[in-house]
Structure 1
Amino acid sequence: MTKRLRIISPKRNRRLQTGWEGFFPYYAGYPELFARELLKSARLPHSAVVLDPWNGSGTTTYTATSLGLNSIGIDLNPVMIVVARARLLPPSEADHLRPLAATILSHAHSAPLPLQPDDALLGWFDPATAAFVRGIEQNIRRSLVGSMTKSPDGVHLDRISGTAATLYVALFAACRRLVAPFRSSNPTWLRAPKPYDTRIAASKAAIARDFGNNVRGMSAALAEKHEADQSQKRLPHPGDCKVSLSDTVTMDLAPGSVDFVLTSPPYCTRIDYTAATRIELAVLAPLLKTAERALGRQMIGSTQVPKGEIDVDEGWGETCLGFLAALRAHPSKASGGYYFRTHLDYFDKMNRSMQRLAVGLKAGGRAVLVVQDSYYKDIHNDLPTIITEIGAGHGLTLAQSKSFHLRSMSDVNPGRKTYVRPSGATESVLCFTK
């Protein structure tokens, strides 16, 4: 009989995001403590492979690696690939970060490079500020992005070194503080600057100081974490980890190659996940193959109308079909057009992703998905049940589940009061077996 998994609340707790973890405040479905308790209770052998197909900032891969398990993290957003790679930096590298940052800043000051007129940073910063930020980025790239990352067919950010990724994260954090005036009502999201907006201006000294302070803080936190692990004798041989820039709809998983899946797929709340990383995408722009808008269109939950026709698939399950029918018939503006089509896009991509996930999972393997429900106007979008029914269509059986009531960002939407519906949201931890 399969042992039941230990499930604690998947709600993120900012009070736990301190030290090394405090430098990775990116969107995630659950905290490290949730992943750690769940993976430990699974009692996987050290040869096991743990997969997170929506890896985000790398909570699953970081936790699995620290427990001595092998892991695979997949994400479509290049920024999240860099963040996840930085999170895996070995503590032995802590002493290298500060002198590297000092050299990079010295070069940025002494040998400024010309700024291209179409540089993505000019959308946010005035020319002098953009030029210095780009100078820091260019020197990180020149010093630490080598032949393993760059190849004749382009830059492979999923091969970037942990050291380079960490310095990029330090630069990301400095830029996020600079663009604070563009934060939206959701504190993690950034609105894109309008043509009439005043661009951000900052001195070279202020930018260099912020970047340097970030690196010093990360170095100190990593060293402190190493000491804590030693004192608690928590030093298993770290597992192997592969972080891959890929789309879950087309991800190439060998059949039966994965023992355990732990993930949180994008919620069906019409959130553009690229909007959370707009400034980071601007920093990375010279390394990217895909523009922000095209990247956003590929995302599950894209706010852009899909290209081409998508047919409703009965394999999505009775609950999904009922929700789509109610949405299409809703009298509010654009329900039967724009909103219906974007939801079709979401369920089509989710179904195809679940199919590939199921193929990769071994017989007898387990998959844990953290999923949140939502409302379209006054129509309940019971995503946990929909995902359960989609999973059943691909050979996954729900063996265990636990739900938690949480506050929801949708409650702050002024339009919410127009419709009668419960406050908050239900986040469900769904545990499947194959």
Structure 2
Amino acid sequence: MKAREAAQMAPRFRILSPKRNKLLQTGWEGFFPYYAGFPEVFARELLQSAELPNGAVILDPWNGSGTTTYAASGLGLSSIGIDLNPVMIIVARARLLPPTEADHLRPLAATILSHAYSTPPILDPNEALLGWFKPSTAAFIRGIEQNIRRSLVGNMTKSPDGIHLDKISGTAATLYVALFAACRKLVAPFRSSNPTWLRVPKETDARVAATKAKVAQYFAANVRDMSGALAATLDADLRIANPPRAGECEISLSDTASMKLRKGSVDFVLTSPPYCTRIDYTAATRIELAVLGPLLTISARALGKQMIGSTQVPSTLIEVDESWGKTCARFLRALRKHPSKASGGYYYRTHLDYFHKMSRSIERMSHALKPGGHAVLVIQDSYYKDIHNDLPEIISEIGVTHGLSLKQRKNFHLRSMSDINPGRRSYERPSGATEAVLCFVK
């Protein structure tokens, strides 16, 4: 059967709301509440309705906290998750920890805390944790991290050619996530109304001074609760007759604009690319990046510049590409002419950077997709001042440029993060945002 004929016979997908619901983030899922992305039930229902063949490979090129790879694994499907943020690699790896490992977590955490108490490290003057914590608190946190690293990060992760976070064990990743959560709780005074933003303290701000006992209490409680939640998933699996064997999963640290995947190696793509709303995804994980400092070879600022949707102006001049489509061209012309400050300079150039990286990424994604394969993307529109950035339509046109055809679309109206910005009241525009689920076929 020809690929085009097979595509015409493909089932219509079962599409639930892609917006994360805090009420659904319970148990094991409740430990991965990172901003953006879609809920596990959305991914699971959609993948089940796709009627994928045995041996099918699922790709999420913006894997984030690993919802797609987690859902695919639970359905016995093979998957590939790619992300540029090292923090998200750790989180996605932790999420895949087999339930049979639940009983090992608490004894490991107790040993790690014991070593952290007995052998406190000498802090480097450039220690990133000092940006939020007093020296004694920062030193104890670094001691916990150091002992996780020494105990659980082996030669597969630490090799002569650098650190391979995509090879870190699920157990090590889970303990790192427990430490992330402890640090996030401690730096609560530096959160803002925007859930993606953790404020960097000014020189005059008081840094957090928490006792060793308090830090240890938070870390141990997180490990205890994660162990219990993971054990509960094992109990649930035992009540199911012939549960599917977990699918193989590869988590990779890579830039989607240059990712190297074999042509036609992927059956199905399920993903949510970064929105064009000037969200700094590295700023959202500042404290986690500080915790991971000794394992990183790149600064948070340099990492932020590589991200799609970077708030930093690109160092090279990018020209508008007609392959981005007519909708994108109209939006960019309107943005460049807008009378507000820096519209024709800073904001215009950062949007060019966004569309340049997005087009290259979709081209690489399409290259990896098999003929007749499907790609489902969750895309949210936005506004620049009073100019509608119809990102779902722009992505649809970019997809066509790179060999994809839009077969199904479902819209959901949601509250937008921009609604909490007082500046939006200066411009006439609707409240909320449209989050579109776009279903393409190759």
Q: Specify the alignment match of 1:420 in structure 2.
A: 428
Task: Determine the C-alpha separation between the residues in 2 that align with 1:194 and 1:383.
Answer: 36
Q: CA deviation at 1:234?
A: 6.6
Q: CA deviation at 1:228?
A: 1.2
Q: Specify the alignment match of 2:3 in structure 1.
A: none
Task: Determine the C-alpha separation between the residues in 2 that align with 1:320 and 1:251.
Answer: 24
Q: Specify the alignment match of 2:193 in structure 1.
A: 185
Q: After TM superposition, list the pairs within 5 Å mapping 1:125-164 onto structure 2.
A: 125-164=133-172
Q: Specify the alignment match of 1:358 in structure 2.
A: 366
Q: Specify the alignment match of 1:168 in structure 2.
A: 176
Judge conservation of contact 1:46–1:70 (CA < 8 Å) in 2: no
Q: Specify the alignment match of 2:270 in structure 1.
A: 262
Say if 2:370 is the partner of 1:370.
Answer: no
Q: Specify the alignment match of 2:55 in structure 1.
A: 47
Tell me the SS of whatever aligns to 1:302.
Answer: coil
Q: CA deviation at 1:145?
A: 0.2
Judge conservation of contact 1:46–1:68 (CA < 8 Å) in 2: no
Q: Specify the alignment match of 1:67 in structure 2.
A: 75
Alignment coverage as a number of residue pairs? 434
Q: TM-score, normalised by structure 1?
A: 0.99
Say if 2:348 is the partner of 1:340.
Answer: yes
Q: Specify the alignment match of 2:301 in structure 1.
A: 293
Bigger mean CA deviation after superposition, 256-265 or 111-120:
111-120
Bigger mean CA deviation after superposition, 182-191 or 94-103:
182-191
Q: After TM superposition, list the pairs within 5 Å mapping 1:262-411 onto structure 2.
A: 262-411=270-419
Task: Determine the C-alpha separation between the residues in 2 that align with 1:291 and 1:111.
Answer: 27
Task: Determine the C-alpha separation between the residues in 1 that align with 2:283 and 2:400.
Answer: 32
- Cα deviation code 1:311-335 (max 9, x no counterpart): 1000000000000000000011100
Tell me the SS of whatever aligns to 2:282.
Answer: helix
Counterpart residue type for residue 219 of structure 1:
S
Tell me the SS of whatever aligns to 1:273.
Answer: coil
Task: Determine the C-alpha separation between the residues in 2 that align with 1:428 and 1:180.
Answer: 33
Change (3 A) 1:424 1:234: farther
Counterpart residue type for residue 31 of structure 2:
F
Q: CA deviation at 1:126?
A: 0.4
Q: Specify the alignment match of 2:95 in structure 1.
A: 87
Judge conservation of contact 1:305–1:341 (CA < 8 Å) in 2: yes
Task: Determine the C-alpha separation between the residues in 1 that align with 2:69 and 2:286.
Answer: 24
Tell me the SS of whatever aligns to 2:144.
Answer: helix
Task: Determine the C-alpha separation between the residues in 2 that align with 1:408 and 1:285.
Answer: 32
Q: CA deviation at 1:12?
A: 0.7
Dislocated runs of 4+, deviation >6 Å = none
Say if 2:48 is the partner of 1:36.
Answer: no
Task: Determine the C-alpha separation between the residues in 2 that align with 1:233 and 1:417.
Answer: 56
CA RMSD of aligned residues (A): 0.7
Task: Determine the C-alpha separation between the residues in 1 that align with 2:226 and 2:342.
Answer: 47
Task: Determine the C-alpha separation between the residues in 2 that align with 1:303 and 1:379.
Answer: 19
Q: TM-score, normalised by structure 2?
A: 0.97
Q: Specify the alignment match of 2:35 in structure 1.
A: 27
Residue among 230, 242, 246 paired with 2:250: 242
Q: CA deviation at 1:189?
A: 2.2
Task: Determine the C-alpha separation between the residues in 2 that align with 1:52 and 1:377.
Answer: 31
Q: CA deviation at 1:235?
A: 2.1
- Cα deviation code 1:398-419 (max 9, x no counterpart): 0011000000110111110100
Q: Specify the alignment match of 1:220 in structure 2.
A: 228
Bigger mean CA deviation after superposition, 145-154 or 185-194:
185-194
Q: CA deviation at 1:233?
A: 3.4
Task: Determine the C-alpha separation between the residues in 1 that align with 2:141 and 2:128.
Answer: 11
- Cα deviation code 1:294-319 (max 9, x no counterpart): 00000000000001110100000000
- Structure 1, unpaired ranges of 5+: none
Counterpart residue type for residue 315 of structure 2:
K
Q: CA deviation at 1:229?
A: 2.0
Task: Determine the C-alpha separation between the residues in 2 that align with 1:81 and 1:263.
Answer: 15
Counterpart residue type for residue 238 of structure 1:
A
